[in-house]
C-alpha cells in the first residue's frame, strides 16, 4: 500500500480567501466600492466628494481614516451616506456588498446600517429597509450565479446621540421575518451611554429579539458593563477594553476581574475589528492588539472588518494578517469562524447547518 502523503495547505491570502468565513460586524456605509461612490455622486448630484477619480478616492478614504483625526474619519461617512439617499443607490450598494463578501469567501454575514441616516431626501424608514433587503436579495442571487453561496442578514443600527432608538427597534422587529436579524447602537461612546436607550432594549427583550451594542471600543469597562448588565446585549461590538479587567503578572499569569470573568464564562461574543481599532487608536498595532491575549484566554472572539472601504481590508486580509502576526494555523481560523457562526442572530438550526455542512468539512481538508 502506498502511504498517502499529506501536504499541508499553506496559510496564504489565496487559500484563506477560498476558505469559508463568517462576518458579524460590518457597516453597509463603510464598505462601498470607490467606483460606486463616484457614480452615485454623479447620478444623485452629490457634489462634496474630494475627488471624482475612483482610485484617488479609495486612497483618500483610507488615509482620512488613518489620519488619527476623528473629524476626518467621520467625514468619510458623510460622503458614503451622502450618496445613499435614494432607493436605487441603496439597492446597488447592498447588492454589491453581498457580491463582494461572497467573492471574498464569506458564507454568512450580518451587515448593519442606520436607517435614520438615509432619510435626508425622499425615503422613509420602511422604504430604506425594503431597499436594502432587496439589494441583499439581488446580490445573493448574483453571487450564487458566480458559484459563491452567501447568506446575508441585516442589523438595524440606532445612533447613540440621537433619540430614535425605540422607533428603530420597532422597525427591526417589524422586518424580522424579511431578513432583519437584530439591532445595534453605534456612534460616539463617551457622553452617550447605552442606558439612554433602555426603552429600546426593553422592548426588544419583550419581543424576544436580538441585539448587539458598540461598547468598549474607545471607552472603558463601564460602557461594557452597562451594555451587558443594564441593557442585556447579546454581543459586544468591539469590546476590546475588556482587557482593562485583566491583570497580567510578571510570569505571564493572568487574573480575570469579575466583569471579564462574566464575559468569558457566559461566552459573550466579542466582535473584534483589529484594523479599525488601529485606525481609531483603540490599539497601537496588530501585534499589541488585545485579540491575541483574548484568543489565548479563550474568550468568545470573532474577527470582523467593521469598515472595509475606510480600512482597506476584507475578511481574508484580517484573518491572514492575524494568522501571520500571532502564528495561527487553520484550526485557529476554524475556531474564529465557528465562534462567529455560533454567535449569529439567525436560528439554531441554520447556524448548525452552516457549521456542519459548510464550515467544518472545508476546514477538515485544510487542517489535514
Residues in contact with Zn ion by the rule CB under 5 A:
306
Total residue count of the chain as it appears in this document: 368
The minimum distance between CB 99 and Zn ion, in angstroms, equals 21
Nearer Cβ to Zn ion, position 281 or 361?
A: 281
Our CA dihedral for 117, 121, 124, 129, rounded to 10 degrees, sits at -50
Q: Angle at CA 164, nearest 5°, toward 139 and 69?
A: 75
User: Using CB atoms within 10 A of its CB, is residue 190 exposed (0-12), middle (13-18) or buried (19+)?
Assistant: exposed
Question: Strand pairing partners for 337?
Answer: none
Q: Known catalytic residue: 217? A: yes
Nearest-CB residue for Zn ion? 306
Give residues with Cβ within 8 angstroms of 212, minimum separation 6. Answer: 24, 25, 155, 182, 183, 184, 233, 234, 235, 236, 237, 271
The minimum distance between CB 110 and Zn ion, in angstroms, equals 12
Q: Which of 152, 157, 146, 37 is nearest to 93 (CA)?
A: 37
The minimum distance between CB 174 and Zn ion, in angstroms, equals 23
Rounded-to-integer distance, Cα 280 and Cα 187, Å: 13
Give residues with Cβ within 8 angstroms of 357, minimum separation 6. Answer: none
**Per-state percent for the chain, helix, strand, coil, to nearest 5:** 55, 15, 30
Give residues with Cβ within 8 angstroms of 199, minimum separation 6. Answer: 165, 166
Q: Please tell me which residue in 96, 130, 189, 217 is annotated as part of the active site.
A: 217
Q: Which of 91, 90, 101 is nearest to 146 (CA)?
A: 101
CB 157 within 8 A of CB 184: yes
Give residues with Cβ within 8 angstroms of 264, minimum separation 6. Answer: 256, 297, 298, 299, 300
The minimum distance between CB 94 and Zn ion, in angstroms, equals 17
The minimum distance between CB 271 and Zn ion, in angstroms, equals 8
The minimum distance between CB 56 and Zn ion, in angstroms, equals 26
The minimum distance between CB 269 and Zn ion, in angstroms, equals 14
Nearer Cβ to Zn ion, position 143 or 213?
A: 213
Phi, psi of 301 (to 5 degrees): -85, 135
Buried b (16+ CB within 10 A) or exposed e, 71-103: eebebbbebbbbbbbbbebbbbbbbbbbbbbbb
Cite the active site residues: 217
Amino acid at each position: 500500500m502506498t502511504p498517502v502523503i499529506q501536504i499541508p495547505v499553506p496559510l496564504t491570502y489565496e487559500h484563506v480567501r477560498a476558505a469559508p468565513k463568517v462576518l458579524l460586524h460590518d457597516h453597509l456605509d463603510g464598505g462601498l466600492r470607490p467606483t460606486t461612490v463616484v457614480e452615485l455622486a454623479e447620478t444623485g448630484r452629490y457634489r462634496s466628494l474630494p475627488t471624482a477619480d475612483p482610485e484617488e478616492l479609495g486612497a483618500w478614504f483610507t488615509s482620512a481614516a488613518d489620519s488619527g483625526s476623528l473629524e476626518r474619519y467621520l467625514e468619510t461617512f458623510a460622503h458614503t451616506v451622502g450618496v445613499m439617499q435614494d432607493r436605487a443607490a441603496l439597492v446597488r450598494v447592498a447588492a454589491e456588498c453581498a457580491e463582494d463578501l461572497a467573492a471574498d469567501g464569506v458564507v454568512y454575514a450580518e451587515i448593519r446600517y442606520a436607517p435614520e441616516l438615509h432619510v435626508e431626501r425622499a425615503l422613509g424608514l420602511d422604504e430604506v429597509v425594503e431597499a436594502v433587503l432587496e439589494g441583499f436579495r439581488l446580490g445573493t442571487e448574483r453571487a450564487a450565479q458566480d458559484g459563491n453561496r452567501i447568506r446575508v442578514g441585516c442589523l438595524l443600527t440606532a445612533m447613540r446621540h440621537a433619540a430614535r432608538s425605540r422607533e428603530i427597534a420597532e422597525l427591526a422587529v417589524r422586518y424580522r421575518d424579511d431578513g432583519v436579524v437584530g439591532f445595534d447602537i453605534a456612534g460616539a461612546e463617551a457622553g452617550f451611554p447605552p442606558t439612554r436607550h433602555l426603552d429600546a432594549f426593553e422592548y426588544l427583550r419583550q419581543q424576544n429579539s436580538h441585539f448587539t451594542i458598540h461598547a468598549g471600543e474607545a471607552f472603558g469597562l463601564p460602557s461594557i458593563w452597562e451594555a451587558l448588565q443594564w441593557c442585556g446585549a447579546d454581543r459586544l461590538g468591539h469590546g476590546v477594553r475588556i482587557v482593562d479587567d485583566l491583570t497580567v503578572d510578571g510570569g505571564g499569569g493572568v487574573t480575570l476581574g469579575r466583569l471579564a470573568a462574566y464575559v468569558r464564562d457566559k461566552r459573550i461574543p466579542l466582535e473584534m475589528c483589529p484594523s479599525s481599532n488601529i485606525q481609531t487608536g483603540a490599539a497601537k498595532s496588530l501585534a499589541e492588539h488585545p485579540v491575541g491575549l483574548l484568543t489565548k484566554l479563550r474568550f468568545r472572539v470573532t474577527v470582523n472588518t467593521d469598515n472595509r472601504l475606510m480600512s482597506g481590508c476584507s475578511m481574508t486580509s484580517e484573518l491572514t494578517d492575524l494568522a501571520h502576526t500571532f502564528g495561527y494555523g487553520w484550526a485557529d481560523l476554524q475556531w474564529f469562524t465557528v465562534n462567529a457562526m455560533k454567535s449569529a442572530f439567525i436560528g439554531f438550526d441554520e447556524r448548525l447547518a452552516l457549521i456542519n455542512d459548510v464550515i467544518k468539512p472545508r476546514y477538515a481538508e485544510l487542517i489535514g
